[in-house]
């Protein structure tokens, strides 16, 4: 049980490619719980391991409506095996790019295959907000951030804002 610090851009670890997980052991189970604790504390509906500085291919999500029983999901080595034809535009945010929200266009439906905490392979079809979250989190495992889908002007404006804040914090 541990809430861990969430990295914020321009931390370079957010741009690295995470490593596959070879074995679902106690270390991975503890990491998954820490990620869920950190996500709920933020609060958020998803979190990828690189966002807490752990370069492993694992993401957590919980899209249960507020006030209802939590529905935690842990996806190890997730891969999208199919993208739907239809696109959807939704407003996205990111715990590593705090307090900014922009509209992003993504496929409305995906099929994702992953390993669960029991070590079993799961294949799941998702649409709507769950499909968005799955794509957003798996992007994090490849060093891709949702601002990369914005116009160059908007993206550069966001990067400049956080670069300036980082320089000020460094003194």
Residue tagged active-site, from 66, 71, 103, 137: 137
4: which DSSP letter? -
C-alpha distances (whole Å) from 139 to each of 53, 57, 115 are: 15, 11, 17
Q: Which stretch binds ligand K2U (CB under 6 A): 17-25, 76-84, 130-138, 159-167?
A: 130-138
- 93 is a contact residue toward ligand K2U (CB under 6 A): yes
Give the helix, strand, coil percentages of the chain, each rounded to 5.
35, 25, 35
For the bound state, the minimum distance from the C-beta of residue 171 to ligand K2U, rounded and expressed in Å, comes to 27
- Is 60:45 a contact under the CB 8 Å cutoff? no
Total binding residues toward ligand K2U, as defined by CB under 6 A: 15
Q: What is the chain's alpha carbon radius of gyration, rounded to the nearest angstrom?
A: 16
The residue from 38, 77, 96, 108 that contacts ligand K2U (CB under 6 A) is 96
The residue from 9, 58, 74, 92 that contacts ligand K2U (CB under 6 A) is 92
Q: Using CB under 6 A, list all residues that contact ligand K2U.
A: 44-48, 92-96, 132-133, 136-137, 140
């Amino acid at each position: 049980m541990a809430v861990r610090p969430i990295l914020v851009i321009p931390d370079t670890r957010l741009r690295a490619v995470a490593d596959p997980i070879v074995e679902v052991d106690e270390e991975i189970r503890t990491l998954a719980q820490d990620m869920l604790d950190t996500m709920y504390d933020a609060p958020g509906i998803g979190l990828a391991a690189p966002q807490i500085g752990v370069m492993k291919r694992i993401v957590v999500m919980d899209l249960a409506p507020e006030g209802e029983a939590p529905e935690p999901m842990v996806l190890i080595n997730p891969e999208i095996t199919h993208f739907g034809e239809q696109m959807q535009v939704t407003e996205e945010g990111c715990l590593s790019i705090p307090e900014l929200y922009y509209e992003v266009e993504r496929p409305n439906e995906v099929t994702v295959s992953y390993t669960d905490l029991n070590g079993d392979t799961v294949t799941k079809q998702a649409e709507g907000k769950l499909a968005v979250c799955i794509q957003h989190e798996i992007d994090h495992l490849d060093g891709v951030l949702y601002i990369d889908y914005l116009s160059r002007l908007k993206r550069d404006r966001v990067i400049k804002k956080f670069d300036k804040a980082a320089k000020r914090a460094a003194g």
